[in-house]
Structure 1
């Protein structure tokens, strides 16, 4: 198992390096003057030159990339701004604050939103899919299929807006969505994010219900499942020990993708509920042409997807040991 994890980790590191290079050259190789954006609209020539030096624009493009990459791991000196400790992603063009500190300030909200919603939609989606597969063709199966189709057809901004109107403003059943650190007040943390969790669960549960049902139906018809039944094993043992294990492989795949997407692309969710996480930060970075902040949010999104892909690979190896041989 350990060599398998090492191989996947090294592959992920190479992937992140490529993504970092593409991100850097994409933002700094396009036409325009980042130094002018960093300095502001009214910028004396000496400050413009200082900004150009801080961004490394007085060096070749490849040297700029190397200096930026080294700064992530070893820190970097900025003239007029002082030392940026590692991991240094630069200073924001808008508020001159270290980009990494701003990311750390917003990241807990986005992670809380993602993990809480994942627990809800994964639990309900897989459970509903299993029940629908075991009741194939019966009314409960048909209800689950229709509900899944409806849930997969709606969008977060539509369901979220309706939920805010009916359950927060008209009938205050839920709290106004807000973020409270878990360490300060766990109940306030859960209460402020409960409505976004449920709205995300409505949409994502549909996919997990359909995927679990279809895969479980296939697994229940496999020879090894029929053999287990022929040996006299109970229905629960057959489902939990054999059929469910084969069902989890595609479920884990979409779970890893969804988690990475939710953390890296929470723009619509956070905008709908007025939450200030990584998604809102990326929008403001685009509007304000804040290149260091925008590059950082892109790297966070890419890093989240790569990280959860590693987790998926490890779970594959746990579920099916044959994967380790690949």
Structure 2
């Protein structure tokens, strides 16, 4: 197990370096001048040259990338802006604040949104899929299939807007979306994120219901499941001890990808409910051409997906005894 984790970790580091290189060269190869973006619209030539020097833009592009990559581990000193301690992702062109500090400020909201929504859609999606598979061809199965198809077809900005109007503004059934730190007010934290959790979970619950149902139906027809039933095991034991293990493997695979993507920023959800998380931050970075912030959000999203994929691979060995990691 340890050699496998070591290899995957090294592979993840290489993957992140490649992603950061592609991101860096892509955004610094655009026609827009990063120095002018950092200096502002009205910038005299002498200040423009000073900004270019302070940001290290007068160096070759490869040297700039090496300096930016090294700054993540050892920090970096920007002339005119001050020292940027490790991990340094540069200074924002918009607010002149360290990018890493801004990421840390927005990350708790995104994590809270992800954890709450994931708990809802994983619980309801898997449970509904199992029930539909056990009632295959019956009315409950058809209702679950139609509901999941409708849920997978709607968009977050559409259903989120309707939910805000009917559940918050019109009838005051739920609380207006807002973010409160969990350590300060756990109840207010849950109340403020409950509506985004439910709306975000609708889309994902539909996907997990369909995935769980199809996989469970396939597992229930396997020889080892029929053998367990022939030996007199109860239906519950057959489902939980045998069929469920085979069903969990593809579910955990897509769950790892979804969780990493949500940690990277639930852009549409945060935009719909006005939440200031990583998704909102990336939108502002694109709008204002804030290249350091945009590169940082891309790197964080990629790191989240890579890390959760490693965790998923390790979990395979514990869920399915047929999988051996070495």
TM-score (norm 2): 0.97
In the alignment, does 2:298 pair up with 1:317?
no
| Alignment gaps of 5+ in structure 1 | none
Structure 1 residue 37, shift from structure 2 partner: 0.9
Alpha-carbon distance in structure 1 between the residues aligned to 2:139 and 2:213: 14
Query: Following TM superposition, by how much is the alpha carbon of 1:45 offset from its aligned partner in structure 2, in angstroms?
Result: 3.7
Q: Does residue 227 in structure 1 map to residue 227 in structure 2?
A: yes
Q: 1:321 to 1:74 in 2, by over 3 A?
A: farther
Shift of 1:321: 4.3
Structure 2 match to 1:295 = 295
Which secondary structure state, in structure 2, belongs to the residue aligned with residue 89 of structure 1? Answer: coil
Shift of 1:80: 1.3
* Segments of 4+ moved more than 4 angstroms: none
Deviation at 1:294, TM superposition (A): 0.9
Q: In structure 1, what is the Cα distance between the partners aligned to 2:261 and 2:222? A: 33
* Cα deviation 1:229-287 (Å, max 9, x = unaligned): 11111111111110000000111111111112222241110011111111111111111
Inter-partner Cα distance in structure 2 for 1:200 and 1:53: 45
Asked if the contact 2:267/2:279 (under 8 Å) is kept, the reply is yes
Q: Distance in 2 between matches of 1:154 and 1:232?
A: 44
Match of 1:104 in 2: 104
Structure 1, residues 99-132: CA drift from partner, whole Å, max 9, x if none?
1101110111111111100000000000111111
Alignment check: 8 A CA contact 2:285 2:293 kept: yes
Indicate the residue corresponding to 1:61 in structure 2. 61
Distance in 2 between residues matched to 1:321 and 1:34, nearest whole Å: 53
What are the equivalent positions in structure 2 for 1:19-34 lying under 5 Å apart?
Answer: 19-34=19-34
Worse overlay, 294-303 or 239-248:
294-303
Kindly provide the CA deviation profile for residues 57-88 of structure 1, in whole angstroms up to 9, marking residues without a partner as x.
Answer: 12111111100000011100011111101110
Separation in 1, partners of 2:101, 2:282: 15
Residue by residue over 1:181-225, the C-alpha shift from the partner in whole angstroms, topping out at 9 and shown as x without a partner, is 111111111100000111111111111111101110110110101
Q: Distance in 2 between matches of 1:32 and 1:204?
A: 38
Count, aligned residues = 326
Comparing 198-207 and 48-57, the one that deviates more: 48-57
2:83 maps to what in 1? Answer: 83
- Whole-Å separation in 1 of the counterparts to 2:226 and 2:307: 37
Q: Structure 2: state its 5+ residue gaps.
A: none
- Partners of 2:85 and 2:157 lie apart in 1 by 39
Residues 1-326 of structure 1 mapped to structure 2, 5 A cutoff = 1-325=1-325
Q: Secondary structure at the match of 2:324?
A: helix
Give the Cα separation in 1 of the matches to 2:272 and 2:324.
Answer: 42
